[in-house]
Amino acid sequence: MTSAPSPPVSRELPAGDLAAAILRWLVGAGAIPPDAWDAVATGDRQTLAACPTLPALAEALLAHRLVTPFQAGRVRAGAVAGLVLGNYRLLEKVGSGGMGAVFRGEHAKLRTPVAVKTLLADAPRGAKVVDRFFQEVRAVARLRHPNIVGAIDAGEEPHAGPDGETVPYLVMEYVSGRDLDDLVTREGPLGVARACQLGSQIADALTEAHRHGLVHRDIKPSNILVTHDGQGKLLDFGVARLPTAEERLTADGARIGTAAYMPPEQAVDPRTADARADVFGLAATLFFALTGHDPFAPPGWAAGAAGPPRLTDLRPDAPPALADALARMMAFDRDRRTPTAAAAVRELAPFLGWSPAGRADPVPSPGAASRTGTQVAHVSGRRPHRVLIVDDEDAVRRVCRLALGTERLDCDEVTTGLDAVAHAATTPYDLILLDVDLPGCSGDEVLKQVRAAPRVPHVKIIMMSGRASGDDLSRILIAGADDFLTKPFSVIQLRARVQAALRLKDAQDRSDTLARQLAGSNADLERALGSRDAELVHARSAMVLALAKLVGQRSTETGGHLLRLQRYCRVLGEAAAATPAFFGRLDPDVVQAIESAAPLHDIGKVAVPDHILNKPGPLTADERLLMQSHTTIGAETLAEVASRYPFATAFFATAVELTRHHHERWDGDGYPDRLAGEAIPLSARLLAVADVYDALRSRRVYKPTISHPAAVDQMLTRSPGHFDPALLDVFGRIAPQFDRVYRETAD
């Protein structure tokens, strides 16, 4: 990256010369966007270049809207160094802390808004200070959470400081809104429900940070941004404690937090602060949000008091139970304090629906489902997804409601397994969040009954448990669950799993619709044209390819992969048909059926969760089991279609064969049925050669591509027992044709 040229700073130049030089720097460095400068009339450019003084230049640039007021102020002072950092223009100063200043900026090329944090000009410099700044950069870069301001970029800009020093900077997403301190100061204390919703969001963000070993250590109202749609965003990890040797930097004088929101142990030694320090700061912040007063200042608290202030002393209308919860979260003795941010989410959950009348949303009585989701109007004729939350713990159900409240879902709640079975039998739920340990009827039994008689196709079931072992969770998956969550879980984890499951259901529903359309189209065509009519074959192939492409959209495989498979199968089938080993077994109709059905071989992957299907690293044993199930799921789906629509039987029989058995091996070590030798259908053996060749040649999330010679060598000499030897001999003779097909259809 080319850095901006250093601006002239010599005061020995005549004022007019200095103004012209500053203008040249602003244009050359990109502080004035090139397209904006090009739009200025030639005469106006000459007038700008002739400005006699820096104040005159600043006013003229403002008049032409070439700079912002902040930039104009820097021009007046002749201090334009640092207006461009890397690829980013600084437009406005929006805040500052103990060591850093934050600016609203934009990417110079993309013109997208960003926030840029730099070290303050008067901050002490040195290797340790810069290291401490980049410690924050690394801390923020590790976190991906909707309630944490995310990092985008970072760098160091030479000669950008007032005295020509290098300026380190951190680029973050720009969040439009106000910090909580400003919001409460200007508008007054928040309502109980709104404050607890913000607190729960920040607690969930802290759960994610603590999972990475990061302790924020400066939770306070000014470090929480509130967006225009009411979402809380946590920022400023400048004094975060990391679980590494880097933490020694804090001991050398770095700022350690804000006294009014700091727990006693952090005030004594910031190096001892753990996740409980952030819980303390969050509770103190909530106290401020609910009262408008710092928690450890009069009138709510007297110096030397033995414990934290009580919320109801300043906010009498607040629920006493919430006052108790904040007292536990702000306990001076950290061993008596709420132990984790996840536990803080549960502490706040009962108050997320608190009404001005002073009571929370009612808990559903046994046998009745409570509607907790927002009633969402149909959009484009499609109903919103319906979710059933099944758990006997009120706090867990409320956390689920918090997580799903912004997802445009209709949510019902029940507390027992019997109620869950009853409601699942009468209401078309798309997804069920199901606790394993339920009174009366266990989650396992509910899972079994729902799977035995589903109200809607492809209903997704996510199991939840705080006690299940790895073996238990594997057993749950085999019994029919689609996914699982281990308690305590974070809001972002729940949202991600629910979104993935619902995307999968939508894909399966679309595949069913397309399959029905395919079946109907084939039936109409076959009735009109006959089973061997060429037009039917082409139409059927097109519909099959469309269905397979729909499935393939969920993974990194492309439409080119499907077309290549068809051509490989045609080339290999015709060549094999001419050899004695396959005489009479690969007539043109058989080859045509294999070619047409080949794109369906991975249709079962529609049932594999996204986080497994597109995982870049090795799969776990449980994940591998789920991935391998795509063969049986695909074959069973096609067999069901064939049984309902008794036409094109040869085509469907071939499709079922190659879908179920294309991962079998000649030596019997494949899956799912561990067939060996001639017991493997010929269509599947032929497809296996084509599929493996294309997989070796193609890039995947977990591997790079390899060349044609390397792929052929891998298959012929380094894959003993994998392929039918007779087919492998044919492949070896016609391998150049495979390479030609790949080159002609490469993505």
Residue 556 sits in a domain whose CATH number is 1.10.3210.10
pLDDT per position as a tens digit, 492-548: 778 888 988 999 988 888 888 887 777 777 666 666 655 444 444 544 555 555 555
pLDDT per position as a tens digit, 196-208: 989 988 998 898 8
pLDDT per position as a tens digit, 394-404: 778 877 877 78
Flag whether 150 is in a domain. Answer: yes
Flag whether 296 is in a domain. Answer: yes
For residues 127 and 100, give the distance between their C-alpha atoms in angstroms, rounded to a whole number: 16
- Say whether both 169 and 195 belong to one domain: no
Flag whether 204 is in a domain. Answer: yes
For residues 683 and 133, give the distance between their C-alpha atoms in angstroms, rounded to a whole number: 61
Whether omega before 720 lies within 30 degrees of 0, making that bond cis, reads no
- Say whether both 181 and 165 belong to one domain: no
For residues 350 and 338, give the distance between their C-alpha atoms in angstroms, rounded to a whole number: 16
Using an 8 Å Cβ cutoff, are 248 and 179 in contact? no
Strands 410-414 and 386-390: parallel
- 454 closest CA partner among 464, 446, 462: 446
Query: Could you say which of 173, 190, 218 is where a domain stops?
Result: 173
Flag whether 693 is in a domain. Answer: yes
In total, how many domains does the chain have? 4
Q: What average pLDDT does the segment 600-627 reach?
A: 82
Flag whether 641 is in a domain. Answer: yes
- Say whether both 168 and 299 belong to one domain: no
pLDDT confidence of residue 356: 64
- Say whether both 182 and 221 belong to one domain: yes
Flag whether 718 is in a domain. Answer: yes
Flag whether 2 is in a domain. Answer: no
- Say whether both 481 and 521 belong to one domain: no
- Say whether both 280 and 340 belong to one domain: yes
- 272 closest CA partner among 282, 280, 264: 264
> Structure pTM?
0.54
pLDDT per position as a tens digit, 68-79: 999 999 999 988
Least confident piece of the model among 60-74, 101-115, 242-256, 708-722: 242-256
- Say whether both 577 and 726 belong to one domain: yes
Strands 151-157 and 167-173: antiparallel
Least confident piece of the model among 122-136, 221-235, 484-498: 122-136
Q: How far apart are the first and last CA of the chain?
A: 31
pLDDT confidence of residue 128: 67
Range of the domain at 449: 370-489
pLDDT per position as a tens digit, 425-466: 999 999 999 998 888 888 889 999 998 888 888 899 999 887
- Say whether both 483 and 553 belong to one domain: no
